Structure 1
Amino acid sequence: MKTIDLLIEARWIVPVEPAGVVLDNHAVAVDRGRIVALLPQSEALATFAPRERRRLDRHVLIPGLVNAHTHAAMSLLRGLADDLPLREWLENHIWPAEGKHVSAQFVHDGTRLAAAEMLRGGVTCFNDMYYFPKAAATAALEAGIRAAIGIVALDFPTPYAADADDYLDKGLAVRDAMRDESLLSFCLAPHAPYTVSDRSFASVLTLAEQIDAPIHVHIHETRHETEESLRVHGVRPLARLHRLGLLSPGLIAVHAVHLTSEEIALLAAHGCSVAHCPTSNLKLASGIAPVTEMLAAGVNVALGTDGAASNNRLDMFQEMRLAALLAKGISGIAEALPAHQALRMATLNGAKALGLDANTGSLVPGKAADICALEFDSFSLAPCFDPVSHLVYVAGREHVSDVWVDGRTRVESRRLLDVDESELIKLAALWQNKICPRDVM
């Protein structure tokens, strides 16, 4: 018998690859942070001698969820300015608050809070876009969560940097210093076409090609954005990016709400990915992305929460359910975006968008053991005819019982490991008092 680090036996395993498969009474064998095998439980016990054995008889195992777009540190701005359209929300509330309060400490503390929320909700990897990337990366490593850290770029000054060149230089220095951290990867993250010039986009593209990193950008989020682009640049935002040479398999188009059929075809032809953020799009009244059409065209559509300031949860189970229901409601097709596809969007499609699908996003031998377990023990989950249907339409993050990242236990029996939850609550209260003292009793 071969000695391994961990054997997890579960009632069901949904590996995501191959598509549509549900394994009954199987086990995942893990050694040195990697998945060694998926096999029937009786065969696993005859093959492996695990140092640790977890029997999860009422559980379903899935790949750890991949949050394809967020601004983790904005957890400290959760609920600050609600029920407002995007432009007013950003210009009159969020940007002024960030100008006063954002610092390396703010980003570190906010990312710690976000990482804890995401891990507790089954997320094992997130794609971040925010200032002070070293602070975000450090907080992610402390939490033990996988992170794609954005090298952000804008054409206006913030407490973090003076101009686009300064943003890129500082972000690249962080990437160079932390590139050997196995849980970290990096993206170029120009904020949006309305905050980034052609010259800055050209610098982003050059740098992305030099370091082989994805480009992560908000685009076509609102009608106002497209109207302004036509007025200022003479073309719609996606056409502008196409003209600048940014469309490629490395592009992650965030939101992509207001697209024509021609623009969808353009994304598909260039192998681009979309990070669909249904809750944020609804909350900011931005609209509903044409996900059914994008999927039919072959676009790789992943799921993201956006930041907690505009969602206001970092809850990927909510995003899966909402994405599936919106696709059906908008298309008038009940078969649109079925449960298996929604789960794939929340796992493997996100990993593919980030260029990480060889390492995470599905339960396949050789990949990192990024695993989420949900316990189906509640009467509210009974009966269960189809565990994947339950994952998308019934279960929530409250049913997540255990989480492993790179084979290391991060959540055990619904308890975060190596995280002082009471400390996080106090930390959030301190920042609330700084940001809006009148709200603290």
Structure 2
Amino acid sequence: MRILSAEVVYTGLGTPIRGGAVVLQGERVAAILSREDARRFYPEAPVTDVGFAISPPPVNAHTHLDLSSLPPFRGPYEDFVRHVIRHKRARGVAAADAGLAELQRAAPLAFGDIVADEAAMRKLLQTPGLRGVAYWEVFAPDPAEAEAAFSETVARLRAFRRLERPDGLKLGLSPHTPHTVSAPLLQRLTRLAIAERLPLQIHVAESPAEAALHRDGSGPLFELMRPFLGDWRPSGLSPVQYLARLGVLEARPTLVHMVHVGEEDVRTVAKAGCTVVHCPRSNEALRCGRLPWELLAKHSVEVAFGTDSKGSAPDLDVTREVAAARALHGAKASPIALVRAAVKGGSRALGLTPPRFGRGSPARALYVWQTPSAEPRV
């Protein structure tokens, strides 16, 4: 017998244990209980404190693997968009391969990847042994282009669908943001996702300038987007309420970032049953602000974690996102809520059955988190 103890033990079912322990007999789980009870019931067993947590493997619910060769950037969100455009040649299969290799070293259970390169999408879908969703990204802000963009997207999705395999990634769809996909196209893509049962993921309420753009067509993001918008008009709504009015939330999309939201927005998201993906290191790098964790918790919104891209985060290790969130939110986000979000929230964001372990499970089912640090491993 031997005992592994941690600040948090989460089996994937029920409430995580603060100050928990897992008792191993050989290479099988014999018991899961508090640290104190483990020492009392198994007094002869050696105890190893493994650090922060023991759980099933976490999920990285939001990545951009084909941006993994992008030079790192820190600065305003609008300048980051320019940075991505400037380095668009860095995107592609080679970058996605490098990102996937780094991601796999962190050993997440699954991942959700936004894909903008056709060759990268084909390779991801054809790679065996991957779990999660590869979301094809759509960018078409001009309403006049909606029909052509929709037809092109349908054709691509049909071709990609033929590449799905039972032991690989599922195909999904990602309208980039509420302001980079026109209203008529957003509505058609939503209906398509519902009809074809395609998982949907969309960036929303990421930067402070996004709210100004939607409210009255002002601010630095509007100035950046102006050449691409055509006959676009501001809705006068928040980005979340704009999506709700268009019916996009009926598809229960995963909503990435959700930083600049109010209580009405959070109520709307909770009612729709959407999961939110938190990317604290990217938010900090791009000066986006702090996700209101306590407001989402108040309304029982499911939260997951994602690393976003290597352009705005130092690595693709989702446990370091959790560490960053812990430092950012302090007492407003308990360690047990953070671990649960990374495991169960991440699985739900990607439409997967949340993993679990229990008595009799093999020791290899346990994911051991070291003491959390937001700094990349060296």
Alpha-carbon offset, residue 220 of structure 1: 0.5
User: Which of 327, 340, 344 lines up with 2:336 in the alignment?
Assistant: 340
Please tell me the residue identity of whatever aligns with 1:320: V
Secondary structure in 1 aligned to 2:137?
A: strand
User: Which of 83, 108, 122 lines up with 1:123 in the alignment?
Assistant: 108
Matched, 1:212 2:208: no
Structure 1: unaligned runs, 5 residues or longer: 1-8, 30-36, 42-55, 329-333, 375-389, 400-441
CA 126–78 in structure 1, closer or farther in 2 if over 3 Å, else same: farther
Secondary structure in 2 aligned to 1:17?
A: coil
Deviations 1:239-295 (A, max 9, x none): 111011111472211100000111111111111111010000000001111011101
Please tell me the residue identity of whatever aligns with 1:276: H
Secondary structure in 2 aligned to 1:229?
A: helix
Cα distance in 2 for partners of 1:307, 1:362 equals: 28
* 2:316 match: 314
* 2:245 match: 243
Please list, as runs of the form range in 1=range in 2, the aligned pairs for 1:6-405 lying within 5 A after superposition.
11=4, 14-21=10-17, 22-26=20-24, 39-40=30-31, 61-79=54-72, 82-91=73-82, 93-98=83-88, 100-102=89-91, 106=92, 108-132=93-117, 135-136=120-121, 138-139=123-124, 142=127, 144-155=129-140, 163-174=149-160, 176-231=161-216, 232-248=234-250, 250-328=252-330, 334=331, 336-356=332-352, 358=353, 360-363=354-357, 371=365, 373-374=367-368, 391=370, 393=372
Deviations 1:4-27 (A, max 9, x none): xxxxx9735742323214442237
**Contact 2:110-2:131 at 8 Å conserved across structures:** yes
TM-score normalised over the length of structure 2: 0.78
* 2:231 match: none
Cα distance in 2 for partners of 1:156, 1:262 equals: 26
Alpha-carbon offset, residue 181 of structure 1: 2.8
* 1:381 match: none
Deviations 1:389-431 (A, max 9, x none): x7464698859xxxxxxxxxxxxxxxxxxxxxxxxxxxxxxxx
Secondary structure in 1 aligned to 2:16?
A: coil
Secondary structure in 2 aligned to 1:16?
A: coil
TM-score normalised over the length of structure 1: 0.67
**Contact 2:252-2:272 at 8 Å conserved across structures:** no
CA 84–136 in structure 1, closer or farther in 2 if over 3 Å, else same: same
Cα distance in 2 for partners of 1:228, 1:237 equals: 9
**Contact 1:317-1:396 at 8 Å conserved across structures:** no
Please report the RMSD computed on the Cα atoms of aligned residues, expressed in angstroms.
3.3
Please tell me the residue identity of whatever aligns with 1:242: A
**Contact 1:219-1:254 at 8 Å conserved across structures:** yes
Please tell me the residue identity of whatever aligns with 2:166: E
Alpha-carbon offset, residue 133 of structure 1: 5.0
Cα distance in 1 for partners of 2:251, 2:109 equals: 23
Cα distance in 1 for partners of 2:375, 2:80 equals: 29
Deviations 1:126-182 (A, max 9, x none): 11112135524624764843231102211069xxxx8343134313420x2133332
Cα distance in 2 for partners of 1:350, 1:131 equals: 22
CA 184–287 in structure 1, closer or farther in 2 if over 3 Å, else same: same
Secondary structure in 1 aligned to 2:69?
A: helix
Alpha-carbon offset, residue 306 of structure 1: 0.6
Please tell me the residue identity of whatever aligns with 1:201: L
Equivalent residue pairs, number: 334
Please tell me the residue identity of whatever aligns with 1:193: P
CA 139–355 in structure 1, closer or farther in 2 if over 3 Å, else same: closer
CA 304–40 in structure 1, closer or farther in 2 if over 3 Å, else same: same
Which is bigger in relative contact order (C-alpha 8 A, separation at least 6)? Answer: 2
Alpha-carbon offset, residue 57 of structure 1: 7.5
Cα distance in 1 for partners of 2:200, 2:363 equals: 26
**Contact 2:63-2:306 at 8 Å conserved across structures:** yes
Alpha-carbon offset, residue 363 of structure 1: 3.2
Deviations 1:339-361 (A, max 9, x none): 121111111101111111x2x44
